[in-house]
Structure 1
């Protein structure tokens, strides 16, 4: 089964890091991505552009509304994602716990392609 790991973090946190700290975090993400790939679990993933570049689309009353910026105002923004293959939710949660984002943000884990509960 595939799972989406959504990585949420405080965008300002990256800019507060020194250059060596940023390099250390990048190495941690590269190692994590390598571990996913070596285990055959990696299906895709990427970091995302700043939330300031987001555009939100909503259709209300038959009219399309396009708004600049993210819809939800929160301290932590969606910063990136991984799509992984895991035999079950417990395995997906174990991968999420190993992700560097778990130590400086939040990771939301969702199964992909499962029908909604009744």
Structure 2
């Protein structure tokens, strides 16, 4: 089953973190991605730019409304994703607990309902 691990954590500035903490974080995520890859479960991974460069859009009365910044105003922001293919939720939980950001933020585990492959949707409609 395919799951997306959504990594939420605070966004301190590079100055607040310092070069040593940044280097430590990069090494931790490199090791995590390598472990996922070596286990054969990694489908893709994305590190997102900081939320202050986010643009959020919606339609109000048929008109496009553009908002500079993230959808949610919170102390934690979505910082990246890992898409993994594992047998079940227990497998996803095992990998999510190893995400470096689990110790300073949250990891949301979301099952994939459908995905676009070669011009068509595969999978089942979302439940709930």
TM-score scaled by structure 1? 0.91
Partner of 2:47: 47
Q: Secondary structure at the match of 1:64?
A: strand
Partners of 1:85 and 1:105 in 2: CA distance = 23
Pair 1:76–1:63, CA change in 2 (3 A): same
Partners of 2:31 and 2:109 in 1: CA distance = 20
Partners of 1:73 and 1:29 in 2: CA distance = 25
1 or 2 for the larger relative contact order (CA 8 Å, sep ≥6)?
1
Unaligned runs of 5+ in 1: none
TM-score scaled by structure 2? 0.85
Partners of 1:20 and 1:55 in 2: CA distance = 30
CA shift digits 1:21-49 (9 cap, x unpaired): 22122111111100000000101011101
Unaligned runs of 5+ in 2: 114-123
Partners of 2:25 and 2:127 in 1: CA distance = 38
Partner of 1:115: 125
Partners of 1:14 and 1:96 in 2: CA distance = 25
Hey, which bits of structure 1, 4+ residues long, moved more than 3 A?
none
**Size of the alignment, in residue pairs?**
118
Pair 1:98–1:87, CA change in 2 (3 A): same
Give me the CA root mean square deviation: 1.5
Give runs of aligned pairs for residues 86-101 of structure 1, distance below 5 A: 86-101=86-101
